[in-house]
Amino acid sequence: MTIGTQLSPSGINGKATALAMRWQQLATDTLAFANAIAALGSSGLQGLTPAGFGVSDANAMVAIALQFATVAGVYYGTAAQPTPVNYDAVFLQLRGTG
């Protein structure tokens, strides 16, 4: 008896479909977030109530939102990535491990 899930065309197709759907949803959510941050801008983030972001944190969030928009743009074909970027490292601090 073989243990674990065995590879099959239907299993591979199902995994590929699930990943494609997750990528699309993530790109959509990422663009919505990045657009909301861009609309607020640094000063808008600082002015949030009851307590807004500090200046450096607001600027950092705007920069991160631009990186998010680039990743989503690459997915949708609206942005190019001319040089390699290690997005794992870029988003390290947001994951609480940087």
Rounded to whole angstroms, the Cα distance separating 70 from 91 reads 13
Judge whether 3 lies within some domain: no
Rounded to whole angstroms, the Cα distance separating 27 from 53 reads 25
DSSP 73-88: HHHHTS----S---HH
| pLDDT value, residue 97 | 78
Total structural domains within the chain: 1
Among candidates 84, 32, 94, which has minimal Cα distance to 63? 94
pLDDT digit string, tens, across residues 47-86: 998 889 999 999 999 999 999 999 999 999 999 888 898 9
Judge whether 14 lies within some domain: yes
Which residue range(s) make up the domain with 23? 9-95
Judge whether 85 lies within some domain: yes
Judge whether 4 lies within some domain: no
Contact 37, 31 (CB under 8 A): no
